[in-house]
Homo-oligomer: A and B are copies of this chain.
Amino acid sequence: MREVFQQELREIQDGLVELAELVQTAITNATAAFAGSDVALAEAVIESDENVDRLAATLDEKVTDVLARQQPVASDLRLMVSSLRMSASLERMADLAQHIAQLARYRYPEQVLPENFEKIFRKMSKIDAQMAQKIVALLRQQDRSTIVQIRDLDDDLDELHSKVFERVLSDSINPAKPEHIVDVVLASRYHERFGDHAVAIAKQMDYFLSGQPVSA
């Protein structure tokens, strides 16, 4: 019985890692599609979201099933509660990658970004990919030092998000077209939320590893 339980806990942790790897692929491809107006790659990201939803739902069912049958306590119970929350955040991160891909598809064959925003979004995309990679590592190795690194990356992302708005509003010499403003505002918001969810996952892992309640 105890051995079955240990196996089930491992399966739940593996499921989270697998979900995080799908998110990493989704955000890498979505930002590449966005930067390069690659409609085929955008389509691939949009289609792959179904897999993420299915995997998250399966994982949640497994957690609920283990809660019912094994009635875990202490750190095992914390893993269950954290898993339910982390799977929701991972699912949402994949949705945000999908939204970025949808922007690329919607404007195709035109570029989504005006030239003067390319560099800032390249930076945001790079941070997103780093965050996704750190989340995979955190879930796999459970090394708490990764948590701080994820928070630092999110600070960088928030700074870039503010810069995007400053640039949109100060761009009086060469005013942007309305569709450019719409796309830039939405894309920047999607990146910012992607980072917020990465931090939410880092906090859940902190809770699971430390047993301390999650701080705001």
Looking at the assembled complex, report how far the CB atom of A187 sits from the nearest CB atom of chain B, in whole angstroms: 11
**Chain A at the B interface: mostly helix, strand, loop or mixed?**
helix
Chain B residues lying within 8 Å of A53, measured Cβ to Cβ, are 216
| A32 CB within 8 Å of chain B | no
Looking at the assembled complex, report how far the CB atom of A185 sits from the nearest CB atom of chain B, in whole angstroms: 5
**How many A residues face the partner with a CB closer than 8 A?**
33
Residues of A whose CB lies within 8 Å of any CB of B are 53, 57, 60-61, 64, 67-68, 71, 73-74, 77-78, 80-81, 84-85, 88, 165, 168-169, 171, 175-176, 178-179, 181-182, 185-186, 189, 213-214, 216
- Nearest chain B residue, comparing its CB with the CB of A95: B196
CA distance A74 to B69 in the complex (A): 10
Looking at the assembled complex, report how far the CB atom of A89 sits from the nearest CB atom of chain B, in whole angstroms: 9
